[in-house]
Chain A
C-alpha cells in the first residue's frame, strides 16, 4: 500500500465511524453496563449488583416469562404463516392460471390483486392498530367481526376479541400476518419472475401438476428469498410492540395475555422505574436476535443452483 493512504481513508471514515460508535455501539454497551446495576432511571446514583437482574428475569412469572412465551409463539407462527401465504399467493398470481399455448400464466387480474395485497404495507403501523382495534371491538361497540359472526348465527366473544385472554394473541398475530403478507407476495413474485419459464414448460410437458411444480422447481429456486424473508420476519416478530401497545387493553393485557418482550422492556423502564432490569431484558433480546440471525444463516445455507 502506498504511503499515506491509510490516514487518507481514515480521515474520511472518522466521522461516520465516530457517529456510529457514539449513537449505536455506545448505547448498546451502556445497556450491558446498566443491566448490572440497580439503576431506576430517574436518578444519577446506582450500585452494581452483578447478575441479579438476569437471575430475577427468569423468575418473573408476571411479565417476563409470559412475554418470552408469547414472543416465542410469534417467532414461530408469524414467519411460517406469512411465508406460506406469501408463497402461495405469489405462485397463484404468477403460475396459477391456465396454460395457454404452452405458456403458463397467473390467475386472472393478477396485477390488480398484487396492488390490493400490497395496500396494508402502505399504512403506518399506528393506523393499522387503530383500524383493527375497531374491527375486533365488541359487537355493541361497532365491532366488525363480532357483528358479522352474530349476524350469521355464530358465537362471538361478547367483549370483543382483544378483551378475551384466549384470543388476544391470535388476533394480534393475524393483524401482523395481514400487514406483512402483501410485501412478501410482491417480494416472492419478483423472485419467481427470474425463474426461467422453460423449466416450467418442461415440467408441464413431463406431466407435472401444480403441486410438484411448486415443490420441485419454485421452492428450491426461491430458497435464498425465503431465507431472507425468514430473517426479516423474525426480526419483526422480536420487535412486535407497537401493535400490542396500540391495540390491547393495558398494553399487553388482558391480564398479561399478550405481553411481548419489547412491551415488557418499555413497562419496566417507564412504568416501573426499573431501567436496569429493563436493560437486562434488552440484552437478552439482543442476544436472541443475534443468535437467531446466525443460526438461520448457517442452517439455511444450501447449495446454490445456477440458472
Chain B
C-alpha cells in the first residue's frame, strides 16, 4: 500500500480568535449556572420533575454525547480490527473528539447526580449493584475514558519528545486498542438496555429486548457520521484539503452498517407486531418517522460513489446520521417515555434555558479543547501547503 498520507502535525496559529472567545463566554455562563445548581439543588435551574426525572443532562450530555463520541471507536475498529490501514490519518482526530465527548459526558454526570458526593459508591464493592444496567454503563464508560487517554497519549509524548514513553506504550497499544473496541461495545449497547427496566412506560416502538443491539449498531454508524461531519468542518475551518479519498470508502462502510441497522430495526418491529404504533397519528409516531427519515436519508444522499466524493453530500449524510442518533435516543428516553403508563397524567418536561445553557457550555468546552489541542499537538495530518510553526 502506498504511503500516501502524512504524519500528524500541529495546525498552529493563534489560540485567541472569535471561536475560542465565544466558547469561553459560553463556558463561563455554564459555570455560573452550575454554581446555582450546586448551592440550591437541581430544581433551581432545571425543569426536571418526578414524571421526567431524567432530562437533557442525561439524555443529551451523556447518552447522545457519548454516541457522538464513537468516532474514535468506529475508526479504530476499521483501522486496527479490519486492518484498513489507509484510514490511519482519521484515527487521531476521531480519537480526540471521542476523548472530549466521553470525558465531558463522565464529568457531566456529576452535575446531574442529586447526591454527587456519593458517586464513588458505584465503584465500591459494598455498594455496587451488578444487576443494575447503570452500574455496567458507569464502570465501562469510566474504564473507556482511561483507555482513550492512554490511546491518545502518543500525541502528547510526541509533542514533549518523550520517545521512551511512546515506545513503551506502542508495545501495549494492541491491547489498548482491543479494550477500546470492547468497552464501547459494552456500554453503548447498555445505554439502550437502560430503558428495559422502565418496562411498559416506554413505547413499544423502542421497548424491545433488541434495544442493546440497536443502540450499538447506531453508535457505530454515528461514529462514522461524526467523522464525516468533523472532517468537513475541520477542513473548512482550518482551510485544509478534505480527505475525500478516505471519506468516500468509509461512507460506504457506514451505509453498509446502516442497512444492517434498518433491517434489524424494522424486522424487530414486525416480529413483535409493534409497527402499528408508528401509524397512530400522534407525536410519538411522528417522532418515530423523523428518526427513521434521518437514518434513511444517507441512502438518498450518498448511494453512488460519485456522490460520496462530494464534500457537501458527505457532510449532509453525516448530519442526517447524527440527527437520527439524536432522535432515536430522545425518543427512547423522553418522547416515547410515558410516566405512569398513561394513568398518571399531567407530567410535562421541556428543558429550561439554564439547563440548555449547561449542555451548550459543555459542547463549547469540547470545541475549545479540540481547537487548542489540534493547534498545539500533532493530531491532524500534516498539510504540505500550510506548514505548521
Tell me, yes or no, whether A binds B: no
Show the binding face of B for A, using Cβ within 8 Å: none
Show the binding face of A for B, using Cβ within 8 Å: none
